[in-house]
């Protein structure tokens, strides 16, 4: 077997980092001219990564055939995405202040837009619970505070919470102790990692019970420079986090950094995708990038 070499684009902290990539792996620029690229997710049934340009009010796709294709125009300032238990695209909409599902005919269904009679703030990012199929989404106020990221409006809820939408349609708010909850990812059925882009600027672990309740466990990690906006996990539990200088890869317990994938601009979010789930897609301010890996996304294991 050939000795492993570290691709020049990578910045290893731990020697094992190079093993996560093919020897000739390079960061590839796919598309640019965006203003704030965000919310990538791989939609397997459509062979594409869908992502947002929150500030240009559009969504786009990068297909497995290698083409940039328009999706929604206007997108009503969609931000984060995931797929649900049926593989359908789920979107956080700043403009509609709602969580949406795109049906197989392309039409959109509103899944949640209010809680106890009050409008949501501006859903930011969303994750599928790996066992019970519930959708967990964060609801900070960026889409109503920042004119370039939504249609304005007033905050009706008393806080910026994390919501859980049960498959039966029941909406609850299990996490209410964060400043600006943002990206989130399930490490397992009973562990949710939640990034806070408020003053705290760290990612925290919450234990999730079978009834959908959340209990704070501990701070999991923090990145430097910048803060975690979006994050994903690979099949071995490693954490892939956005940061101001690119993507940081950490051990599952968050205690050690393994290495970095530098990007020329601030990285907001990332996802695994492609036909084998091994391609890492990165939304970094004006551009969409990709990096081949030798692992795959945890959320793609189904």
Contact range with Mg ion by CB under 5 A, out of 67-75, 100-108, 221-229, 275-283: 221-229
Q: How far apart, in whole angstroms, are the C-alpha atoms of residue 33 and residue 274?
A: 23
CB of 272 to Mg ion, least distance (A): 17
229 contributes a contact to Mg ion by CB under 5 A:
yes
User: Which C-beta is closer to Mg ion: that of 21 or that of 51?
Assistant: 51
Burial class (CB in 10 A: 0-12, 13-18, 19+), 297: buried
What are phi and psi for residue 292, nearest 5 degrees? -70, 145
- Contact between 242 and Mg ion by CB under 5 A: the answer reads no
Closest separation between CB of residue 107 and Mg ion, Å? 25
Supply the minimum distance, in Å, between the C-beta of residue 82 and Mg ion. 12
CA distance 144 to 152: 4
Q: How far is the CB of 34 from Mg ion (least distance, A)?
A: 15
CB-wise, 125 or 234, nearer to Mg ion?
125
Peptide bond into 10 cis (omega under 30): no
Q: Could you tell me how many residues make up the chain?
A: 302
Neighbouring-strand partners of residue 215: 207
Q: What is the smallest separation between the CB atom of 163 and Mg ion, expressed in angstroms? A: 15
- String marking each residue 88-127 x if it binds Mg ion according to CB under 5 A: ------------------------------------xx--
Planar angle of CA 44, 49, 54, nearest 5 degrees: 140
**Minimum CB distance to Mg ion, residue 195 (Å):** 8
Across the strands, what pairs with 291? 280
| Residue 182 within binding range of Mg ion, rule CB under 5 A | yes
CA 255 to chain centre: 21
Interaction with Mg ion in 61-80: which residues (CB under 5 A)?
A: none
User: Residue 283 interacts with Mg ion (CB under 5 A)?
Assistant: no
Q: Are 180 and 203 in contact (CB under 8 A)?
A: no
Please identify, using beta-carbon distances, which residue of 129 and 227 lies nearer to Mg ion. 227
Residues that bind Mg ion (CB under 5 A): 124-125, 182, 229
């Amino acid at each position: 077997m050939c000795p492993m070499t570290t691709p020049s684009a990578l910045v290893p902290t731990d020697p094992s980092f190079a093993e996560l990539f093919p020897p000739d792996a390079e960061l590839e620029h796919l598309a640019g001219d965006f203003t704030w690229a965000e919310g990538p997710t791989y939609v397997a049934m459509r062979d594409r990564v869908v992502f947002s340009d929150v500030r240009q009010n559009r969504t786009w796709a990068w297909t497995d055939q290698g083409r940039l294709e328009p999706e929604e125009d206007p997108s009503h300032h969609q931000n984060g995405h995931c797929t649900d238990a049926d593989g359908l695209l789920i979107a956080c909409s700043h403009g509609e202040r709602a969580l949406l599902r795109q049906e197989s005919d392309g039409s959109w269904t509103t899944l949640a837009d209010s809680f106890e009679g009050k409008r949501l703030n501006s859903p930011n990012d969303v994750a599928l619970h790996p066992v019970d199929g519930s959708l967990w989404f964060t609801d900070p106020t960026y889409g109503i505070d920042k004119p370039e990221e939504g249609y304005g409006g007033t905050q009706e809820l008393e806080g910026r919470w994390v919501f859980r939408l049960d498959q039966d349609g029941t909406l609850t708010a299990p996490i209410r102790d964060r400043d600006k909850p943002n990206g989130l990812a399930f490490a397992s059925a009973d562990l949710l990692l939640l990034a806070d882009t408020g003053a705290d600027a760290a990612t925290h672990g919450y234990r999730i019970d079978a009834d959908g309740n959340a209990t704070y466990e501990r701070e999991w990690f923090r990145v430097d420079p910048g803060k975690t906006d979006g994050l994903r996990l690979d099949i071995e539990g490693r954490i892939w986090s956005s940061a101001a200088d690119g993507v940081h890869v950490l051990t599952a317990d968050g205690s050690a950094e393994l290495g970095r994938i530098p990007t020329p601009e601030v990285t907001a979010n990332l996802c695994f995708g492609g036909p084998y789930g091994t391609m890492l897609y990165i939304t970094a301010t004006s551009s969409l990038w990709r990096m081949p890996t030798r692992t795959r996304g945890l959320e793609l294991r189904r």
